[in-house]
Amino acid sequence: METQNSLLAALAGNPILVAAVGIAVLLFVLALVMMASGRRAAAYAQDEAARRAAEADARLAEVLRLQSEMQGRMAAMGEALSSRQSELNRAVSQRLDGMSHRLGATITEQTKSTHDNLRALQERLAVIDAAQNNIQTLAKDVVGLQAILSNKQTRGAFGQGRMEAIVADALPQGAYGFQTMLSNGTRPDCTISMPNGAPPLVIDAKFPLEAWNVFREATDPDLRRNAGQQFRRDLEVHIKDIAEKYLIHGETQETAFLFVPSESIFAEIHEHFEGVVQKAQRARIVIVSPSLLMLSIQVIQAVLKDQRMREQAHLIQGEVALLMDDLGRLDDRTRKLQSHFLAAQKDVEQILTSSDKLNRRGAKIGALELEAPAPHNNGIENHKPQPSHGVESRTGLLKLRVVDED
């Protein structure tokens, strides 16, 4: 007690010491408070750690549970996926097999169709090759024809040859003549004999083709007009020459033919040179194309045939008379044969009647139904004999037996 009092007296006499002691006490209190706070914080931290550990354990258990559930679901999903995959594989295999089959069939059909098309194409190519060969041959012939037509003499020979071919194909031998000399010393290209002693018809095949080629090939209007005038003059001169040389009164027909070896030239002449055609008609010169010449020759052929038939009319009448005589004899012989057939038919009918009677009597005998014979036409009557009692009994037994068998 004294010590405390002495300490308080000492502290009261020294304010600095009092302050230092206060500070020390304060620090001590603060240290105690901090220690208490640290303990509470440690306890709280331990509780929090325990709580967190418990939560972690709970979460771990939940995670483990979820993991197990996930594993089960994954297993079920794997099984489902495996079954689905097997079904998918099977479906894909079936689809692939069907597609492969269809694809194979399609490829087979396509291959067959391709082969058929190739074969048809080869056939068409063969036809085209043959046509090309024909075209090449025709081109050579055209070149040769152009070479022929470029020469005046060969061109005239070509027209004359075509005219001679038409005449020789349509008329018989002896009904025409080529280069036959007339009374004035000229030789027309062809003369055709006419019926009934009429004078022959003259045909000329020398057509002025030079001026025509110039007219056809001209592109300038002036050149074409000049070429047309030149062709008109040449054609008129040729028509005049034919009229003066070949139209001889009493020796040839009053009309002659000027043969044009082309249908196109014939058509263009009538289209562009109508005046020349009319002058030719007035001069009794007919310009004919191959088709018109053939038609005219066919008409002449028909007239010649009619003349030959008229000349042979008396022979035909004699043959018809002989044919009628043969027909009369055939009619008489046919009627005689018909009478023989009628007689034979009556005999056959009588034979058939007798045969029918025999068949009926045979049927009656087979059935044991004997009757009295009918009287004949000669008047003799056949009486049925009266059988005895024994015969009747036997006949009755036979009838009964026949009935039983039936």
Answer yes or no: CATH 3.40.1350 is held by domain 161-318: yes
The span from the CA of 336 to the CA of 313, in Å, is 35
- Domain borders along the chain are 121-150, 161-318
Per-residue pLDDT of the chain (406 residues; tens, 9 = 90+): 555 556 555 555 666 766 776 787 788 888 887 887 777 777 787 888 888 888 888 888 888 888 888 888 888 888 888 888 888 888 888 888 888 888 888 888 888 888 888 888 888 888 888 888 888 777 766 655 555 444 444 455 556 777 788 888 777 777 788 888 888 888 888 888 887 777 888 888 877 777 777 777 777 888 888 888 888 888 888 888 888 888 888 888 888 888 887 788 888 888 888 888 888 888 888 888 888 888 888 887 777 777 677 766 677 777 777 888 888 888 888 888 888 888 888 888 888 888 888 888 888 887 765 455 555 444 444 444 444 444 344 444 444 343 343 4
Question: 362: helix, coil or strand?
Answer: helix
Token readout for 338 is: 């018909």
Decide: pTM greater than 0.85. Answer: no
Q: Helices 221-246 & 209-217, crossing angle to 10 degrees? A: 160
DSSP sequence for 283-296: TTEEEE-HHHHHHH
CA nearest neighbour of 159 among 257, 69, 281, 65:
257
CB-CB contact of 375 with 381 (8 Å): yes
The span from the CA of 261 to the CA of 70, in Å, is 107
Please give the backbone phi and psi of residue 288, each rounded to the nearest 5 degrees, phi first.
Answer: -125, 145
Burial class (CB in 10 A: 0-12, 13-18, 19+), 269: buried
